[in-house]
Amino acid sequence: MTDHSVYCSPLGTRYASKEMSYNFSDQKKFTTWRKLWVWLATAEMELGLPITPEQIAEMEAQVNDVDFTAAAAAERETRHDVMAHIRTFAAACPAAAPIIHLGATSCYVGDNTDLLCMRDGLSLLLPKLACVISRLANFATEYKDLPTLGFTHMQPAQVTTVGKRACLWLQDLVMDELAIRRVKEDLKFRGVKGTTGTQASYMQLFEGDSSKVQRLDQRVAELAGFSRVFTITGQTYTRKLDVILLNALASLGASVHKMCTDLRLLANLKELEEPFESGQVGSSAMAYKRNPMRSERCCALARFLMSLPSNALATASTQWMERTLDDSANRRLVLSEGFLCADGLLVTLQNICEGLVVYPAVIAKHLAQELPFMATENILMAVVKLGGDRQECHEELRRLSQAAGEHVKKDGGDNDLISRIRESSYFAAIKDRLDELTEPSGFVGRAPQQVTEFVQEEVEAVLQRYQGQLAGRVTLSI
């Protein structure tokens, strides 16, 4: 039964996926410790130490059967989590007990397990990010031609398209995919380095044979699935790696925050809306409300994620000499919660992208309020081409624009500039062309082509890496 009397992180219980929660679970952590002990003993046996296949087999048989109660009792006594689990594993493997953790220090299991969980966590995040990119690319392509009012300084600006705006969000996410993938590709294994990173204990075990110690380091990394291993470490791998990792995740958070803030603003304008289910309640008091709760959730989680690099920076900068232990409790929080938070963000964002609703009529209405002012330059050029005086035309447009603006601001009316121009005898020569000169699609420039080019040239190259991993839709449980 679930114990409702103790605190549980909402990242695990509400937002992150089951697979990401498992990746940072005690079961995953401590079975990985045991696998690392098996890999170490296997490599040591291969390189000539007196370890038997029977001892290896005994350890392998007990990898997944962790006695958490016994381990907790041992930790209360020793005040040392690694020693507690060595004792528990040794009790389950009496024949192998003498060679478990041979030559290793605590960071052998601690740091290497963190690196394995990072690698697996990144392997979970990247396809989810690719799914978001795929859905958003489809959305951008579908609406690449739909004109919409652009905004700079949150004030009406030149016309863009709904699809082009989506590409602004999409471009950030494509950059995040590259940054996170690079972190994964650059990950190195800590390997077997001993207490201060000098491998002195292994030099003792192998009677000064440096080549065997080097091979041991490489072989354990191979067994763990890593192609590269840190050449230099102190007792730990450099905590600079945690900074690089969390910076990449925090940058994803910034991208999601920006996108979802835009969605919230567009929801306020009633131009675009995130999914809203038939039974969903927007407010306990105001029954009519359709709050953008998914986008708000993403912004909330992103804000937390963006705060984590400062913590990693503080930890990396205070690792005295070969290491201090004040990183331990801190990293238990920031690494796992960074991954769970990024996972929850992507799960929610995919759900949003799979259900975005566009309201073209509202978009057209807002565009109609501003487009007449933007069309004045087209109208001026058309008059001049027919022999009109540029300065006279400019003054007539200024006069009519000021009157239309006053009607909007003081009377609360619609923008009637085009009607005023149509009724002015000065513009009689182009009266029949006014609809053409104010057609919204004529103001979007190359926005539709830019969408097509970006999706074909940059997005599709990203999605090619995730073939077979882009199917399925996300349904949020809460």
What is the distance between the alpha carbons of residues 221 and 242, in angstroms, rounded to a whole number? 19
Residues of each domain in the chain carrying CATH 1.20.200.10: 106-275+288-358+457-464
What is the distance between the alpha carbons of residues 450 and 164, in angstroms, rounded to a whole number? 7
Q: What is the mean pLDDT of the chain?
A: 93
Q: Which fold has domain 106-275+288-358+457-464?
A: Fumarase C; Chain A, domain 2 (1.20.200)
Tokens read off for 245: 């990792």
What is the distance between the alpha carbons of residues 339 and 43, in angstroms, rounded to a whole number? 31
Residues of each domain in the chain carrying CATH 1.10.40.30: 376-437
What φ, ψ does residue 152 adopt, rounded to 5°?
A: -125, 140
Crossing angle of the two packed helices 81-92 and 26-46, in degrees rounded to 10: 70
What value does the mean pLDDT take over residues 145-162?
A: 92
What value does the mean pLDDT take over residues 395-404?
A: 92
What φ, ψ does residue 475 adopt, rounded to 5°?
A: -115, 125
pLDDT tens digit sequence for 64-108: 999 999 999 999 999 999 999 999 999 999 999 999 999 999 999
Write the CA distances from 458 to 145, 163, 262, 417, 461, integer angstroms.
19, 15, 23, 42, 6
What is the distance between the alpha carbons of residues 146 and 478, in angstroms, rounded to a whole number? 33
Q: Supply the pTM of this predicted model.
A: 0.90
pLDDT of 405 > 80? The answer is yes
Q: Which CATH number does 376-437 carry?
A: 1.10.40.30
Contacts of 30 (CB under 8 A, 6+ apart): 66, 68, 71, 85
What is the distance between the alpha carbons of residues 210 and 202, in angstroms, rounded to a whole number? 9
Pick the CATH number of 27-99 from 1.10.275.10, 1.10.10.10, 3.20.20.10, 1.20.1250.20: 1.10.275.10
What φ, ψ does residue 270 adopt, rounded to 5°?
A: 65, 25
Contact criterion met (CB below 8 Å) for 45 and 52 = yes
Contact criterion met (CB below 8 Å) for 144 and 358 = no
Q: pLDDT confidence of 1, banded at 50, 70, 90?
A: very low
Contact criterion met (CB below 8 Å) for 393 and 384 = yes
In 47-80, where does DSSP find H-type helix? 53-61, 68-78
- By annotation, the residues acting in catalysis are 153, 283
Question: What's residue 477's pLDDT?
Answer: 82
Q: Provide Rg for the chain, Cα atoms.
A: 31
Which of 94, 181, 174 has the alpha carbon at shortest distance from 134?
A: 174
Cα–Cα–Cα angle for 192, 195, 198, rounded to 5 degrees: 70
Residues of each domain in the chain carrying CATH 1.10.275.10: 27-99
What value does the mean pLDDT take over residues 163-189?
A: 97
Tokens read off for 278: 């038939």
